[in-house]
Amino acid sequence: MKIAHIASIYDTVSEEIGGRCRLIYLLARMQQKQGHQVTVFARKDSRIEGCRTVSPSKVKEVPTPRRISGWLWRRGIESINYAQSYRWIGKSFDIVHNHLFEEASIVGRLCKCPSVTTIHGGAPADPLHTLLMRLYGVANTTGLIAISGYAYQVWKKLIPKTLIGYVYNCIEPNYFPFVSKSPSINEFQLCFVGRCVPEKGCHLAIRAVDMLNKIGYPSRLYMAVAPYGYSAYFERITRMAKERPYVELEVLPENQRLFERVSNSDVMLFPILSPESFGYAMVESMACGTPVIAFPCGSPSEIIQDGVTGFLCNDLNDMVKAVLKVRELDRRKCKELVENAFSVKATYEDYMRLYQRVSDSI
C-alpha cells in the first residue's frame, strides 16, 4: 500500500521522543519493512529510515502559550499544516493515517483518499473541546481509532458514528534494558515516571514510600518527572523530595539513564487520580521487567495483569501492601506481555486490518 502519516508540525518524529512521535516512527518503519511505501508529513527535522518525510507547511513553528488563546492558536497553525498536507496528498495514496484530531474537524473533508484518524489522548474535559469533538463526528468522513478499550468506550458516547475500533500504542521491547531479578534484597527500590501534575499522583508516590519506611520496610523512590505547567505543584513535589533523603527527583533525564533506573527498580508506582487513556510509562516499565502497581483508573485495568505483571489497588494502603508482594512476581512475565500485546508487530497488524476495512468500505 501507499501510506501517508500526518503528524504535528510542532513535534519531531523520532524513536528518541516518546508518546505519539515514537508511535508514528515505529509504525511507519514497520510498514516500510513490510514492503509498503510510506510518506510522513511532519516537522522538518523528522527522520525515519526508509520512509519519505515531507514538510509542506510554510507556517512558522512557534512556541505555544499554555492558555486557551494559545490552544486556539496552535489548533489554527496545525489546521493550516493539515490542509496543506492534504492538498499535497491529493488522490495519490491508498490510505492516509492522520495523527491530528481536533484540527481535522475544520479541514477533514479535504482528504480525497481513504483515511483513519488515531485519537491520541483522553476525552475532552471542557465544553469547548466537547463541542469540537461532536462537530468532528458530524463533519468528518475518516474512520476514528481509539488507543485502548477504555478510551473507545469513552469516545463512543461522543462520536459513535465514525469510531471503528481501538489499537494499543506500541513500543520496541528490545529498546529497553531488561533485568530479570530485583537488584537489592535489603530495601525496596520504587520508581515513578510521568508529568508532574496533580492527576498523576506524584505526591501519593512520595506518601507511599513514607509509609513503607514508617512501618519498617526500608525503601527508596526514584522520580523522573516532566514539569508541564502547574508550577506550584512542581515546587511542592520538589520541596517534598528535598525533605526526604530516600527520595531522588530528576527532571527530564536522558532515556538511557531513565530506563536503567526503571529496570533496576522493584516496582513502578502509577497512582493516577484521573482516567488514563493508555499510559506509556506502564508498558515501558514492564518492558524493563519492572512490575507496575496502579489505581484502576481507565486503561491500567487492561494493561496490567493483576497478580502477574503488577497489582491494581483501590487506595494508598493497598498500594503499600502490594509493594511487599512484588518480589513474588516473575519479571519475565512483564516482558512477555509487552512482546505479545504492545510490540510494534502487534500494533502494525491491528492497524493494517483497520486500513483494509476502511479501504474496502469506500
Concatenated DSSP letters of 323-338: HTTGGGS-HHHHHHHH
The answer to whether the beta carbons of residues 311 and 304 sit under 8 Å apart is yes
Maximum average pLDDT range among 5-19, 100-114, 306-320: 306-320
CATH 3.40.50.2000 in the chain is located at: 2-170+343-361, 173-341
Whether the per-residue pLDDT at 246 is higher than 80: the answer is: yes
Position with higher pLDDT, 181 vs 105: 181
Region 173-341: CATH code: 3.40.50.2000
pLDDT at position 71 is: 64
Q: What confidence tier does 331 reach under pLDDT thresholds 50, 70, 90? A: very high
Whether the per-residue pLDDT at 340 is higher than 90: the answer is: yes
pLDDT at position 257 is: 94
Whether the per-residue pLDDT at 185 is higher than 90: the answer is: no
> 3-state class of 28 per DSSP?
helix
Average pLDDT over residues 180-204: 91
Say what percent of the chain tops pLDDT 70: 86
Cell of 354: 483497520
Query: Starting at the edge strand that comes first in sequence, how are the strands of the sheet with 188-195 ordered?
Result: 247-251, 219-226, 188-195, 267-270, 292-294, 310-312
pLDDT at position 163 is: 87
Burial class from Cβ neighbours inside 10 Å (0-12, 13-18, 19+) for residue 337 reads buried
Q: What is the mean pLDDT of the chain?
A: 88
Q: What confidence tier does 155 reach under pLDDT thresholds 50, 70, 90? A: confident
CA angle 24, 30, 32 (to 5 degrees): 100
The answer to whether the beta carbons of residues 167 and 118 sit under 8 Å apart is yes
pLDDT at position 88 is: 79
- Region of residue 165 (left: phi > 0; alpha: psi -120 to 50; beta: else): left
pLDDT at position 324 is: 96
Q: What confidence tier does 315 reach under pLDDT thresholds 50, 70, 90? A: very high
Average pLDDT over residues 354-360: 91
pLDDT at position 47 is: 87
The answer to whether the beta carbons of residues 196 and 228 sit under 8 Å apart is yes
Burial class from Cβ neighbours inside 10 Å (0-12, 13-18, 19+) for residue 257 reads exposed
pTM of structure: 0.90
Alpha carbons 275 and 286: distance in angstroms, whole number? 20
Cell of 11: 513535534
Whether the per-residue pLDDT at 221 is higher than 70: the answer is: yes
Architecture per CATH, 2-170+343-361: 3-Layer(aba) Sandwich (3.40)
Alpha carbons 83 and 112: distance in angstroms, whole number? 12
